[in-house]
Amino acid sequence: MIDKNMKMKKLLLYMILPAFALTWAACKKTSNYPGGVISPYIPLYDLRNLYKGSAIKLTKDLMYGSEKITGIVVSDYSGNNMPSGGYLMVQDHRRLSLLRGIAIPIGGDAAKYASGDSVVISVTGGTLTRANGTLQIQNISPNAVEKISGNNPIPANRVPSSSILKDPSSYESTLVAIVKGGFDPLPTPADNFAGDKIANDGFENITLHTDASATFATNALPVTANFYGVVFNNVTDKGALVPQIRMRKADDIKILSSTVEVTPIVISGFINDVSGGDGNYEYIQLLATQDIDFSITPFSVVVTNNAGASVPAGYPANGWATGGGSASPASMFRTFKFSLTTGTAKKGTYFYVGGAGKTIDGSSSTSMASSNWIRSFNYTNTDGDGFGARNGGFFANSGNAFGMAVFAGTTVTKDTQPIDVLFVGSGGQLFSAGPPAVGYKIANTDFYDVINPITLDSQPYYRQGSNTLCLAYTTPADQGFYYKLGGIYNPRLGKWVKARTQSIVQLTKKSTIDQIETEYPAGLVPTGLKD
């Protein structure tokens, strides 16, 4: 018995010791670890994180056993718009798929490398420091750079300007795409790229810098374009990083439009699920971007409900004009139309379309009858204007997607393109590539693009190509959640200078109109205009 117990103790000891040794080895800081070999390449994400505000010399130990970096070149000197110093700019996403870049000043040899070249650079002995606003590895010989291959594709990295401004260091020395950028004031034929130009992409303003010697410096400014460029930073007296975009050559400018197209009406808010029963109480808030007399210039608002029981089922063969549903036996429509043919709306004012209840949050809540209702009727016992059967609620509260669109005129067919459109959710049979393609057409808005701004492919439908953005459903039900879509539209420029974002105001039976038409609560502003 004693021998058996001793054997068991020895066996347990032999099992515990290796486990302890492995645990100790894993915890010990060392460049050698069991069962693997250190990569010779340190990811740029990890390399940049070594910098803590003062210059450091790069050693093998400091770089966790690595000695080199590898990446894709994004600098290009053919357009004469790279800063002086001969920066070779490379980027990689070796760590957590997070794209990061770094600058290596190697003088005139930097121009020997083209955008898309794959390179390996020995950086041991170099100095990681921030100079002239740019984090860089100094004291690297041109001979330390080895080209592996060329003409490697660089996927377009569409980044909102607001993200770059919020975290300049993360985007520094990487190639970004500022999409649907424009200028304020609108360019004249004499305006060109030379100098610092402030571009707005619907998220924020960011600086495009072009040296006077750049080959495209005298090119005329477009109304709207995509701008591809490398992010550089300047440093303020207080140490803050201020980013700017340097386009590399004329091909980095992809003109999207040379004309201004103004949207007369934009969707600014709505409520799909009031407190209590929805029937006759749902409504859409819209903002006039110019003076409108609807008896002279009529419009339409169409809503779509794609619940599984909606009729007709399947993909919407007639798009926004699909209609459907019936009163007996009761079934839900696919689309429902309001025609706006009477009344007026002044530029910069809100008006409403929806149920005849005209209250802010369902039955027995604050009356909105004194507001500007351009079209309202009891849709629980009246069919839509042209299509869509009467129903107990024209918006869904959960499940498949619902949406709304504004159209110029009162004739809406499967081929009619709206002037503004928004969707909540993405589920259901919404788009089929066909042929023929079937779905809900979209407009050029802050959310959607009829032409893909990156690939330039046609994509006129929701859920086609890049048209996948949508708002999210709110839960739980029957809580009076109002979708307040704070954005800023500039009718002079014909574009959103701040994209709409989903904010929710929980209304009550005693809520007032100010809560959806003014700043409420503090800091939450409604959709507005900026000339």
- Give the number of other Cβ atoms within 10 Å of residue 3's Cβ: 7
HEC readout, 379-403: CCCCCCCCCCCCCCCCCCCCCCCEE
CATH for 260-531, options being 3.90.650.10, 2.40.50.140, 3.10.20.30, 2.60.40.1260: 2.60.40.1260
Question: For the residues of 281-299, what is the DSSP string, one character each?
Answer: T-EEEEEESS-EETTTS-E
Q: Where in the chain is the domain with CATH 2.40.50?
A: 44-149, 161-257
Token representation of residue 276: 């209590």
H or E segment and range at residue 90? strand 87-92
Q: In a 10 Å sphere around its CB, with 0-12 CB exposed, 13-18 middle and 19+ buried, how is residue 119 labelled?
A: buried
C-alpha atoms less than 13 angstroms from C-alpha of 183 in its C-beta half-sphere: 22
Q: What's the CATH class of domain 161-257?
A: mainly beta
* Res 2: pLDDT: 40
Token representation of residue 297: 């210039």
**CA separation (Å) from 473 to 144, 269, 331?**
54, 14, 22
C-alpha atoms less than 13 angstroms from C-alpha of 419 in its C-beta half-sphere: 22
* CATH 2.60.40, applies to 44-149: no
Return per-residue pLDDT of the chain as tens, 531 residues.
444 344 343 333 333 333 433 333 334 444 444 556 789 999 999 999 999 999 999 999 999 999 999 999 999 999 999 998 899 999 999 888 899 999 999 999 999 999 999 999 999 999 999 999 999 999 999 999 999 999 999 999 999 999 999 999 999 999 999 999 999 999 999 999 999 999 999 999 999 999 999 999 999 999 999 999 999 999 999 989 999 999 999 999 999 988 899 999 999 999 999 999 999 999 999 999 999 999 999 999 999 999 988 999 999 999 999 999 998 888 999 999 999 999 999 999 999 999 999 999 999 999 999 999 999 999 999 999 999 999 999 999 999 999 999 999 999 999 999 999 999 999 999 999 999 999 999 999 999 999 999 999 999 999 999 999 999 999 999 999 999 999 999 999 999 999 999 999 999 999 999 999 999 999 999 999 998
First to last CA, the chain: 94
486-505 core/surface letters (b: 16 or more CB in 10 A; e: else): bbbbbbebbbbbbbbeebeb
Q: Where in the chain is the domain with CATH 2.60.40.1260?
A: 260-531
* Spatial CA neighbour of 275 closest among 476, 479, 516, 477: 479
Token representation of residue 362: 């369902």
* Res 84: pLDDT: 87
Strands, DSSP E only, in 372-471? 373-377, 402-408, 420-424
